[in-house]
Amino acid sequence: MTPLDDTDRRLLNRLQEDLPLTPRPYADVAAEFGITEQDLLDRLTRMKADRVITRFGPFFDAAAMGGDFCLCAMAVPEAEFETVLTKVNAHPEVAHNYERTHRLNMWFVLATETPEAITATADAIERETGITVHRFPKLQEFFIGFRVAA
Amino acid sequence: MIDATDRRIIEALQGGLPLVPAPYAQVADDLGIEEAALLDRLAALKTRGVIRRIAAAPNHYKLGMTSNGMTVWDVQDDLIGELGAHIGALPFVTHCYERPRALPDWPYNLFAMVHGSSPDEVEDKRGQIAAILGSACRGSDILYSTRILKKTGLRLKAKG
| pLDDT value at residue A148 | 59
Q: What is the pLDDT of residues A10-26, one digit of tens each?
A: 999 899 889 999 999 99
Q: What is the pLDDT of residues B19-41, one digit of tens each?
A: 999 999 999 999 999 999 999 99
C-alpha–C-alpha distance, residues B129 and B142, integer Å:
12
Domains of chain A in sequence order: 6-49 (no CATH), 62-136 (3.30.70.3460)
Range of the domain at B8: 4-47
Examine the domain organization and report whether B29 and B70 are in the same domain. Answer: no
CB contact under 8 A, A18 and B16: no
CB-CB: which of A48, A106, A150 is closest to B63? A150
CB contact under 8 A, B99 and A136: yes
The DSSP output letter for B63 is G
Answer whether the bond into residue B104 is a cis peptide, omega within 30°.
yes
* CB B70 within 8 Å of CB B145: yes
Examine the domain organization and report whether B138 and B93 are in the same domain. Answer: yes
Composition of chain B by helix, strand, coil, percent to 5: 40, 30, 30
The share of chain A scoring above pLDDT 90, in percent, equals 79
Which residues of chain B from 88 to 127 reach within 8 Å of chain A, CB to CB? 88-89, 91, 93-100, 102, 105-106, 111, 115
ipTM over 0.85: no
Q: What is the pLDDT of residues B39-98, one digit of tens each?
A: 999 999 999 999 999 999 988 788 888 888 999 999 999 999 999 999 998 888 888 999
| pLDDT value at residue B154 | 64
